[in-house]
Amino acid sequence: MPQWLRPRLPEGPLRVLNRELHALHSKAGYPSARKLYLAVGKAVSHTNIHHAFVKPTLPSWGVVEVVVEQLAQLARPRLAADSEVNRFKDLWDRAHASGPPFAAATKGTKQRSAGSGEPSSDEARPTLMPSAFISSRNALIYQVVGDLHRAGRPVGVPQVAAELERRGQLELCGGEDYLFECVKVAIKGAYEAGMSVTEFGVLNARKVRAAADARTEFMTSLFDPGSDTDHIRRAANRAAQLHPQWVRQQPGKDPSP
């Protein structure tokens, strides 16, 4: 199996932990995340296992513990699993005590970018505005949900995760963990709306489709020579109702609050 890419991290306990994880992975012959997922009895997802190695953040101790135990057994020569687990627990405690991993990774990345004049690397993605990042990955998830719903296929976490992975977008969307967070939000929304989660999910899928159709109709009306002013206005109003984030500036009015 190919070697996983290491995240760029500033000097410190988190970097040491990550480098030691990669070193142990090498000794074990670079087993895939799916192989480790099966080896640990599906106790943690293959996405979380992969993230423990490639993300510039501190993985949970539960993930590190089971992965290290399996890697120690796969290593050649074989390593004492208990000793390796204890060693990594010490490394993990130091990284945890050093502070929020996102802050450390963000600070180090900004300093490198400012000093080198080079564009930000992939590891700088967590420094994006949270709202912008969440909107982009939610858009991908909603698109998959809408596609599955229109195809008459189940729209559960396993199905959405599988389709995202097939499209190469699962990691970008935050993996299975984020999808389960979305489920929590859906459960809360369904409760507040007084309907079942299934009804709530279908409603959201239909709303996504309606919003996409409204946007397409509006853009088509703008460039269609046969469209009159009333048609364009109706299409614009429908699109605006389904896209509340659109800000329409009234002529002659100051857009600032």
Q: CB count, 10 Å around CB of 136?
A: 12
Q: CB count, 10 Å around CB of 238?
A: 17
| Helix, strand or coil, per DSSP, at residue 183 | helix
State the pLDDT at residue 81: 92
The pLDDT tens digits of the residues spanning 58-116 come to 888 888 999 999 999 999 999 999 999 999 999 999 998 886 544 333 444 444 434 44
Q: Which two tokens stand for residue 142?
A: 């909603």
Nearest to 8 by CA among 85, 116, 136: 116
Q: What is the largest CA-CA distance in the chain?
A: 77
DSSP 5-66: PPPP--SSHHHHHHHHHHHHHHHTT---HHHHHHHTTTSS-HHHHHHHHHSSSPPPHHHHHH
- Whether the pLDDT of residue 6 is over 80: the answer is yes
Going through 23-80 in order, the beta strands assigned E by DSSP cover none
pTM of the model: 0.44
Distance CA 189, CA 195 (A): 9
| Sign of the dihedral defined by the CA atoms of residues 147, 151, 156, 162, in that order | negative
Count Cα neighbours of 20 within 13 Å in the Cβ-side half-sphere: 19
The pLDDT tens digits of the residues spanning 33-49 come to 889 988 888 778 888 89
- Give residue 181's pLDDT band: very low, low, confident or very high (50, 70, 90): confident
Phi then psi for residue 59, to 5 deg, are: -70, 160
**Cβ(74)–Cβ(3) under 8 Å?**
no
- In this predicted model, which residue has the larger pLDDT, 177 or 201? 177
